[in-house]
């Protein structure tokens, strides 16, 4: 079986100008990206962003309408069977057979993929421990709790070592310890050579796991890069201030050379600075003091993935679209794509 990777031979997933509509509604609106062989790549986006729609096209579950998409060198439309042979999937929705036991689900999956008996047994033992379902191995899946079903679903997805593993919000609804254990295991699978395409709306998950992240919102990629690159576009440090006169303070501080962005908040405002915040802070405090403005709250921190997300989408990851933030841009920067 020869692989027909065209163009960039490092790309294991290649998507160009992908569009997808449900009736009149355009859920995916011209998305292009590549995932390199061996990467952990994440789509980070809020509910309804179009993450599952893209995944479902890539795993050939949803027919492609417009654009190009290939996985492991195979076109998702013309070589759908080859694509399916190259991938593993953990679905967002639970798809377990209710009457099978935990062990049967894993055993059946291993047989389906022609895993040798010894390997099957070893992998099942390892995964049951990972997802902590050893004690439930003979339980029918209908009698498992929601979180246990989720863990079994993941274990099934991790039975084989496909070229590309698709994980659609794999850790949704799991407790923090279990999520972290999953991350470690996913990294281990990746180290064994499997490329991982992940969707999530957990900032920390995208941050911890991914080699590269694309932030997706309303069917479009807003920005892509490594976690470090994304955070770096916001500046070196972030300073939050509450003062006796925020409007006047903003007017004064936005002209300081190291301040490249100012954003007003309910009770204060945020300055994004291009230099070490501990060096800029005394200047800020002096400037305010000289103008007779008191600082009541001061907070200095490094940009986080949350800050990146809020900055580029103008909303936090809860459902409500928070009102458009007041953003004063002093410099423009090119979004890395
Ligand atoms: N079968 C469908 N019929 C009609 N609309 C759909 C269908 N599937 C998805 N949509 C709509 O398309 C948009 C994108 O949905 P999608 O499931 O791709 O989002 P998502 O990013 O995976 O969200 P979530 O984080 O909630 O899983 C949403 O507005 C959704 O309501
Ligand atoms: Mg989804």
Whether the CB of 201 sits within 6 Å of ligand 1: yes
pLDDT value at position 333?
35
pLDDT above 60 (res 63): yes
- Tally the domains of the chain: 2
- Pocket probe for ligand 1: among 21, 44, 52, the residue whose CB has the most ligand atoms within 8 Å is 52
| Residues, Cβ < 5 Å to ion ligand 2 | 51-52, 92
Whether the CB of 20 sits within 6 Å of ligand 1: no
Whether the CB of 53 sits within 6 Å of ligand 1: yes
If phi > 0 it is left, if psi is from -120 to 50 it is alpha, else beta; for residue 263 that is beta
pLDDT value at position 308?
92
Taking only the tens place, the pLDDT of each residue in 85-120 is 899 998 877 788 889 999 999 999 999 888 999 999
The CATH number given to whatever domain includes residue 71 is: 3.40.50.300
The domain containing residue 76 runs over which residues? 11-225
Q: How remote is the CA of residue 68 from the centroid of ligand 2, in Å?
A: 21
Going by pLDDT thresholds of 50, 70 and 90, the confidence category of residue 1 is very low
Q: State the ligand closest to the CA atom of 23.
A: 1
Q: State the ligand closest to the CA atom of 167.
A: 2
Q: How remote is the CA of residue 22 from the centroid of ligand 1, in Å?
A: 9
- Specify whether the CB–CB gap between 329 and 261 falls below 8 A: yes
Q: Cα separation of 98 and 239, whole Å?
A: 52
pLDDT value at position 94?
77
The CATH number given to whatever domain includes residue 283 is: 3.30.70.260
In a domain, 4, yes or no: no
pLDDT above 90 (res 326): no
pLDDT above 70 (res 330): no
**Which of 225, 260, 275 is at the close of a domain?**
225
Q: Using CA of residue 122, residue 125, residue 129, residue 131, what is the dihedral sign?
A: positive
Taking only the tens place, the pLDDT of each residue in 264-305 is 888 999 999 999 999 999 999 999 999 999 999 999 999 999
Q: Give the burial class of 87: count Cβ atoms within 10 A of its Cβ; 0-12 exposed, 13-18 middle, 19 or more buried.
A: buried
In a domain, 1, yes or no: no
């Amino acid at each position: 079986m020869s692989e027909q990777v065209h163009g960039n031979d490092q790309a294991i997933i290649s998507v160009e100008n992908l569009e997808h509509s449900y009736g009149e509604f355009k859920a995916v609106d011209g998305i292009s990206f590549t995932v390199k062989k061996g990467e952990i790549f994440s789509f980070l986006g809020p509910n309804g962003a179009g993450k599952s729609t893209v995944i479902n096209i890539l795993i050939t579950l949803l027919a492609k309408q417009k654009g190009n998409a290939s996985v492991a060198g195979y076109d998702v439309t013309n070589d759908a069977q080859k694509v399916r042979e190259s991938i593993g999937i953990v679905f967002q929705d639970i798809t377990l057979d209710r009457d099978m036991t935990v062990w049967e689900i894993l055993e059946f999956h291993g047989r389906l993929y022609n895993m040798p008996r010894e390997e099957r047994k070893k992998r099942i033992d390892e995964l049951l421990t990972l997802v902590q379902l050893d004690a439930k191995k003979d339980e029918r899946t209908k009698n498992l709790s929601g979180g246990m079903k989720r863990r079994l679903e993941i274990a099934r997805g991790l039975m084989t070592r496909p070229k590309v593993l698709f994980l659609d919000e794999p850790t949704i609804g799991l407790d923090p310890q279990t999520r972290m254990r999953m991350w470690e295991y996913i990294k281990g699978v990746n180290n064994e050579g499997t490329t991982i395409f992940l969707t999530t709306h957990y900032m920390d998950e995208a941050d911890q796991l991914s080699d590269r992240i694309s932030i997706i919102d309303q069917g479009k990629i807003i920005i892509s890069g490594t976690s470090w690159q994304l955070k770096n576009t916001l500046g070196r440090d972030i300073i939050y201030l509450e003062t006796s006169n925020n409007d006047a303070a903003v007017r004064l501080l936005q002209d300081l050379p190291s301040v490249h962005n100012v954003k007003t908040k309910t009770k204060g405002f945020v300055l994004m600075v291009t230099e070490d915040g501990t060096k800029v802070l005394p200047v800020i405090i002096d400037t305010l003091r000289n103008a007779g403005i008191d600082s009541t709250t001061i907070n200095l921190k490094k940009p986080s993935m949350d800050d990146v997300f809020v900055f580029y989408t103008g909303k936090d990851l809860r459902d409500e679209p928070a009102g458009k933030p007041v953003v004063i841009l002093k410099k423009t920067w090119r979004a890395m794509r």
